[in-house]
Amino acid sequence: MNETLVAILSGAAAAALISGLFSIIDYKIRRKDKQNDSENVQCKALRYLMLYIIQERAEAHINRGYITLQERRLLHHWHKLYHDGLEGNGDADLLMKQVDALPLQVEDHHYEHSIDNPT
């Protein structure tokens, strides 16, 4: 009878230990899933924000009818971050083609020094 009692108690202790380990593993998996969900939501929010910025800036330049080289470079940089870095789906590609078709306006650089006034 003692051997049967020891076997039953040992089996119950082992079952409790295994159950506890599974609970810990399940908790860690659920915590990791929540962390991944949070990162996924943040990535999506950033993706939508970048798309909004690209659309607003591109449409402003298209409506204006021209773009400077610096403005076009900046839009391409944002588009690359959106498309490649944040895995954007290509929604801004058509706008970028329209931006690339805009005539380039020469940027007006203001220099503090000139040949006539070197100070």
Q: Tokens standing for 83? A: 């498309």
pLDDT of 58? 96
Which letter does DSSP use for residue 115 in this model? S
Q: What is the CA radius of gyration of the chain?
A: 31
Q: CA 55 to CA 92: how far, in whole Å?
A: 7
pLDDT in tens, 36-72: 676 788 888 999 999 999 999 999 999 999 999 999 9
How many residues can be counted in the chain? Answer: 119
Q: CA 78 to CA 64: how far, in whole Å?
A: 20
Confidence of residue 100 (pLDDT cuts 50, 70, 90): very high
Q: CA 70 to CA 107: how far, in whole Å?
A: 8
pTM for the full predicted model: 0.59
